[in-house]
Amino acid sequence: MLEEKSFKKNRPIKDIISVQDIVLEYIIESGWKDYEKFARKLTDKIVEKQPTTQEELTKLIRDFSHPFYTFNNITKEQFLARFPLKELLHQSRIPRQLRITRQHKTVKRKTLSKKIRYLIMERDGFRCRICGRTAKETKLEVDHIIPVSKGGTDSLNNLWTLCIDCNRGKSDLIYKPRNKEVSPVNK
């Protein structure tokens, strides 16, 4: 039975990035595929409906139809089995604090956890998204597609795997692919 803790209605879900990151992290961690559109649409539905209890959020997910479930050969109940309902309801209502402070032209920010780094590298197949080299060939790093210095966030949609050479070459530039083969979006 779900714990019926109601989250105050006067604090609406405003942090769309937190909602989408929680959904994406859960899906990537579970090893499911073809999830980007699903995560975006589920996030939009959660923000639109503003559920205030775990029961309301569970009902919203049960009523949400998407080919993601069929593609991954799972039921909605399997999806909900370990879904972090309480965390999503709580985190999405906490105002996001700026993680960047500028002091003498240096940018201080929170480092990404090892878990997030691993999930991003696993999602990208442990391969550089620009040149395609693998972890066996070179050192891989997790980088921001849109650099933090240019307004990028730590959202999972803004992180990708690059080899050390491509990351140093990219520096704080916003990467624009020259061909369709390599792109910052999941294939």
Structure confidence at residue 141 (pLDDT): 93
Structure confidence at residue 8 (pLDDT): 46
Q: Is 74 exposed, middle or buried (0-12, 13-18, 19+ CB in 10 A)?
A: middle
Identify the helix (H) or strand (E) that includes residue 76.
Answer: helix 76-80
Structure confidence at residue 22 (pLDDT): 84
Tracing tokens 């080299």 back to the chain, one arrives at: 133
Structure confidence at residue 7 (pLDDT): 45
Structure tokens at 130: 């620009």
For the domain made up of 101-170, the CATH class stated in words is mainly alpha
3-state SS, residue 176: coil
**pLDDT under 50: residue ranges of the chain:** 1-10, 97-105, 180-187
Whether the full predicted model's pTM is greater than 0.85, yes or no, is no
Please report, for the chain, the start and end positions of each structural domain, with discontinuous segments joined by +. 16-91, 101-170
Identify the helix (H) or strand (E) that includes residue 59.
Answer: helix 54-63
